[in-house]
Chain A
Amino acid sequence: MIELRHISKSFASRKVLNDISLGFEQGKCNLIIGESGSGKTVLAKCMVGLLKVDTGEVLYDQRNFTRMNFFEKKIIRQEMGVLFQGGALFDSMTVEENIIFPLSMFTEKTVEEKVDRAQFCLQRVNLTNASKLYPSELSGGMKKRVAIARAIAVSPRYLICDEPNSGLDPITSIVIDELIKEITYEYNITTIVITHDMNSVLEIGDNIAFLYKGDILWKGNKEQILHAGKKELVDFVYATKFLREFRKRVIE
């Protein structure tokens, strides 16, 4: 369970997040959706402490992360798997080394066990022949998948993914969605997925929060989202003219 209490964040004079309070349940896929520039990534970075919040607090299972010092934060961070929007792979390391790195830092596993773990994670993201390549030799979608493999390799208690399937083809997207869902249920972890892909929303959205210009305008789940009446959300969900027509005929 991750809790956000009254989070606000501005850059210079521009307010990006406006008093956000949200809870993310354990064992569920919690989604944050919203259009580009609405503040999703900023919110995620505030959550993991990469950006300092102006006001508010973040709690990880009742532990107040915002108030912690550097060393206490480090301990919580070892329980996190974070996927950055840009992947953020270490480009001096091969794919396999990228995945093994956090394991070497924090576990006493043997080399063999670590390689096995890396292979296992790579298999789960449908990427098996790339372990000896460097990030510069990968395509955008492959990088993303390696980054996901790295985030799940440490068996995190909290999984935070910033747009896990942007830049992936529809088939691989579904594989990744399935994977996130499986891991979340199997290990009963708290998962937060940031996305603006409606397919994912309808596939894995146990809890959905709609972020609009720094405010949470709507909360619900994947069954409710298609019937929601909020104008900004309707515009987001039914983005094309065709879908808007469809909504008029079928839902209203």
Chain B
Amino acid sequence: MNLLFHLGKYFILIKRVFRKPEKYSIYRRQLLIEINSLGIGSLGIVSIISVFMGAVITIQSSFNFTSAWIPIYAVGLATRQGIILEFAPTIISLILAGKVGSNIASEIGTMRVTEQIDALEVMGINPAGYLIMPKIIASMIINPFLITISMFLGIFGGWLFGIITGVVSSYEYIYGIQYQFRPFSVYYALIKTIVFAFIITSVSAYHGYYTNGGALEVGRSSTKAVVYSNILILVFNFLLTQLLMA
């Protein structure tokens, strides 16, 4: 019952978000601001995590591939598949849900409890559209770039630490990452990323938008935003994998 209530309210909000903007130029400016803050602002954390993730996958797989039947280049192959299919799109999206999601929920939640959203509304502006639409679109544009960068850096991290620790040679690693490469796996990852971007921004905005009360509730909304975005990312990851890989 509760779930249905929230689902209904969520879709009503989404419908409001995608109403015709009052003025395109202002929404466009807002979009650029959001691309900068949601995208460029996350570049650092995405880079660091990707490099180390790649490193760990490489080292872990080399430790586990002890059989003589498995060639050493399989380490590169495993790193590539792991990074492109799951680690970059899913893990990075989960991390972005933590960073961007809590940010969005607390920003919009604060605007709610300090009546800034009411002020927008009585000016004759559609607050849901003005505040949320640019965020959703910005993250659907910029997250695929972040994930692509994450893929490169992850594979690079595997190569770098593979060589430093000596578990794999550069030649074999590079042979492995090129072995039977299917470009579709990258499209698959980017499709997932775009869906996850929509989930993160819309679910977080929903929790912020319907904050009720004061500073305490803003904190609560921001926690809920992260928890529900994460759960939904995992559920949709499962569904999309079934759908796209079948």
* A interface residue numbers (CB < 8 A to B): 45, 48-50, 70, 73-78, 80, 82, 84, 86, 88-91, 101-102, 104-106, 154
Contact-residue bracket for chain B: 10 to 19
Find out whether the CB atom of B116 lies under 8 angstroms from the CB atom of A91.
Answer: yes
Alpha-carbon distance between A6 and B67 when the two chains are bound, in angstroms: 84
Q: Is B126 at the interface (CB under 8 A from chain A)? A: yes
B6 → chain A closest CB, angstroms: 20
A88 is contacted by which of B114, B124, B125, B126 (Cβ under 8 Å)?
B114
Alpha-carbon distance between A74 and B26 when the two chains are bound, in angstroms: 17
A77 is contacted by which of B26, B115, B116, B121 (Cβ under 8 Å)?
B121
Find out whether the CB atom of B119 lies under 8 angstroms from the CB atom of A88.
Answer: yes
Find out whether the CB atom of A78 lies under 8 angstroms from the CB atom of B115.
Answer: no
Alpha-carbon distance between A50 and B110 when the two chains are bound, in angstroms: 17
Other contacts beyond A49-B122, A74-B125: 6, CB < 8 A: A50-B118, A77-B122, A84-B119, A88-B116, A105-B26, A154-B123
Q: Which A residues touch B23, using CB under 8 A?
A: 104-106
Find out whether the CB atom of A86 lies under 8 angstroms from the CB atom of B122.
Answer: no
Alpha-carbon distance between A50 and B112 when the two chains are bound, in angstroms: 12
Find out whether the CB atom of B124 lies under 8 angstroms from the CB atom of A82.
Answer: no
* B interface residue numbers (CB < 8 A to A): 22-23, 26, 110-111, 114-116, 118-119, 121-126
Find out whether the CB atom of B124 lies under 8 angstroms from the CB atom of A84.
Answer: no
Alpha-carbon distance between A75 and B125 when the two chains are bound, in angstroms: 10
Find out whether the CB atom of B115 lies under 8 angstroms from the CB atom of A102.
Answer: no
* Known contacts A90-B116, A91-B116; A82 and B122 CB within 8 A of each other: yes
Find out whether the CB atom of A84 lies under 8 angstroms from the CB atom of B22.
Answer: no
A100 → chain B closest CB, angstroms: 11
Alpha-carbon distance between A175 and B122 when the two chains are bound, in angstroms: 25
Q: Which B residues touch A77, using CB under 8 A?
A: 121-124
Q: Which B residues touch A75, using CB under 8 A?
A: 124
Instruction: List 15 A-B residue pairs with CB atoms under 8 Å apart, sorted by A's residue number.
Output: A50-B118, A77-B122, A77-B124, A84-B115, A84-B118, A86-B114, A88-B114, A88-B115, A88-B119, A89-B119, A102-B125, A104-B26, A105-B22, A105-B23, A105-B125
Q: Which B residues touch A154, using CB under 8 A?
A: 123
Q: Which B residues touch A76, using CB under 8 A?
A: 124
Closest 4 CB pairs of A and B: A77-B124, A78-B124, A88-B119, A88-B115
